[in-house]
A = this chain, B = another copy of it.
Amino acid sequence: MTSTDGSGPRPTKQRLAVLEALASVDDFRSAQEVHEILSSSGSPVGLATVYRTLQLYADQGDVDVLRREDGEAIYRRCSETHHHHLVCRSCGATVEVEGPAVERWTTSMAAEHGFTAVSHTLEIFGTCAACS
């Protein structure tokens, strides 16, 4: 429901397959990993298309993006509301977390320094219970 006119991106077989692949796992995956999943699941999609699709959905806000330490982009299908992530460094397990106080803090901090059109990123990394 990102657009209502008929001119938006088409829900093609490939695009739906990418979303399904993301939905089939619970943690963040790179474009190449999504491409892998699709190939081994019998509905292969071109690598370029996977890249295009992921960034399409990322722009629409339908998938979350963050970066591994080496800079590689990883994607996850998350809930629609604004949230942040608690990610296990070892197994990748991901928990969505919310913190209204943090949201307020970032906005007030930005206002205090005269910044406008503010956004923010916040991720927490650690070792989950299963991995420790």
Contacts and interface: CB of A to CB of B under 8 A. Distances in A.
| Interface magnitude class on chain A | 20 to 34
Interface string A90-111: 0000010101011001100110
A129 B114 CA distance: 5
Number of this chain's copies in the assembly equals 2
Contacts of A105: 99, 101-102
A115 B124 contact: yes
A123 interface: yes
A128 interface: yes
A101 B105 CA distance: 9
Given A67-B71, A71-B67, A123-B121, A128 B102 contact: no
A21 to B, nearest CB: 22
Given A99-B109, A119-B126, 16 more contacts: A71-B71, A86-B109, A97-B113, A99-B105, A101-B105, A102-B102, A102-B105, A110-B126, A115-B127, A115-B128, A116-B132, A117-B132, A118-B126, A120-B124, A121-B121, A122-B122
